[in-house]
Amino acid sequence: MASDVPSRAANVLLLAAVTLVGLNLRPFITGIGPLASDIGAQTGLDLRGISLLTLVPMLLMGVFAFAGPFLQSRIGARRLVIVSLAVLVAGSLLRLFATNGWQMVGTAALLGLGVAVIQAVFPGIVKKQFPRQVGVVMGLYSAALMGGGAVGAQVAPLVATATGSWRAGLAWMAVPAALALGLAACCLPRDTVATQGGARTSALLRRPRVWLLMVCFGLVNGGYSTVVAWLAPFYQEHGWSIATSGSLLAIMAVSQALAALLLPMLARRRDLRPWLWLTLAMQAAGFAALAFRPEAAPLASAILLGAGLGGCFALSMIVALDHLPDPAEAGALSALMQGGGFLITALPPWIVAVLHDVTGSFVAGWVLHLISVAVVAILYWRVTPASYAGAMRAPD
């Protein structure tokens, strides 16, 4: 019995690291929306420029996710996570000194780079360290990620109001990133560097299923990137204050976190499609409410939308990891799904900004995401557990 104590203690610390790292992956994005008007006024960024603060990090999350398996095979997951967390600390602190739009975009790029590498390698760490609890631990990781989004949306305007500076409202995020850096350095498992990262990536990209998963992941998370960029400004156009609109975004993110944590625990069956369709129905209801009845029940709409987005994110990650039994290969598949997915995810906030400029409202953007939800629901019809092995088999 005594021999089990160190491993249990190590697992508890590792779960704490999973949680704290996840908490740091979204605040730098969700903190922008509530402060968008102040940022634009003092840096000269217009609506399309503000959208770059979401677009650029998402693009980097996509590009560097493709490089994740290669980097992990050469450098190791632990080293990559530690260096990336240090980048998050530096990027957040630099926002204290940003005086113009391009400097803000530069910090967004730096932060996006750090998050991109962590997201590319972290699911593989989970699959390796918790092979029998992948669903639960990925739910915890996803919930922490979404919960971090809630923290960013709520705390950024509070700090900005208390200090009189939107820069401080964004720079405080260096503190939790530094805490995550210290914990990760203490308890992440030592690296075992392999040499097949590039070959594994190339082989996976020849499988159509990988591209299908990319498209589904990208379209769903495009809804997330649009919501975090424009939900607060949307309600500010309806007369809401910065603090109140930020609180609504935080409630949406809390709903995401709860769904990301609970749905993987409830979805015990191997076929996750009914649960995925449930989350897509929630998203459809939320986007329809924003488009056609925004003032009718904003709180209920935000909760529905958050639950749909958060649950779908967590379940999508589990579906990718379930396709392959080997942790390294499953991690590579997850990284590629996120890579292609985030390249798609980066574009909707900018597209919605353009549609806003053309139409004078955000309604066309919400309708665009209703269409995306319908497309994903159709595509997921093909993702049956019985098809996993065949879809991952090497082409002749």
Tell me, letter by letter, the H, E, C secondary structure of 249-301. HHHHHHHHHHHHHHHHHHCCCCCCHHHHHHHHHHHHHHHHHHHHCCCCCHHHH
Burial 312-338 (b: 16+ CB within 10 A, else e): bbbbbbbbbbbbbeebbbbbbbbbbbb
Confirm or reject CATH 3.40.50.300 for domain 9-187+195-392, answering yes or no: no
Ranges of each domain in the chain: 9-187+195-392
Element (H, E) at 139: helix 134-163
CB 72 within 8 A of CB 201: no
Tell me what pLDDT residue 196 has: 53
CB 131 within 8 A of CB 74: no
Alpha-carbon torsion 96, 141, 123, 216, what sign? negative
Angstrom distance (rounded) from CA 206 to CA 373: 26
Tell me what pLDDT residue 3 has: 43
15: tokens are: 């779960």
3-state DSSP of 309-378? HHHHHHHHHHHHHHCCCCHHHHHHHHHHHHHHHHHHHCHHHHHHHHHHHHHCCCHHHHHHHHHHHHHHHH
Tell me what pLDDT residue 289 has: 95
103: tokens are: 């400097």
Distance in angstroms between the alpha carbons of the first and the last residue of the chain? 50
Tell me what pLDDT residue 371 has: 96
Burial 114-139 (b: 16+ CB within 10 A, else e): bbbbbbbbbbbbbbbbbeeebbbbbb
Tell me what pLDDT residue 85 has: 96
Tell me what pLDDT residue 367 has: 96
213: tokens are: 């998963």
CB 141 within 8 A of CB 126: yes
Tell me what pLDDT residue 192 has: 63
Environment class of residue 88 by beta-carbon count within 10 Å: exposed (0-12), middle (13-18) or buried (19+)? buried
Query: Position 17: which residue type?
Result: A
Angstrom distance (rounded) from CA 389 to CA 396: 15
From first to last of its 396 residues, the chain has per-residue pLDDT tens of: 444 444 777 788 889 998 999 999 999 988 898 888 899 989 988 888 888 898 899 888 888 777 777 777 788 888 899 999 999 999 999 999 998 989 999 999 999 999 988 988 887 788 778 877 777 888 888 888 888 888 888 899 999 999 999 999 999 999 999 999 999 998 888 766 554 555 567 788 888 999 999 999 999 999 998 998 889 899 999 999 888 988 898 899 889 889 988 888 888 778 999 999 999 999 999 999 999 999 888 999 999 999 999 999 989 988 998 898 887 788 788 878 988 898 898 889 899 999 999 999 999 999 999 999 999 999 999 999 999 988 888 665
Q: Tell me the three state secondary structure of residue 177.
A: helix
Q: Tell me the three state secondary structure of residue 229.
A: helix
120: tokens are: 């590319």
270: tokens are: 């191997």
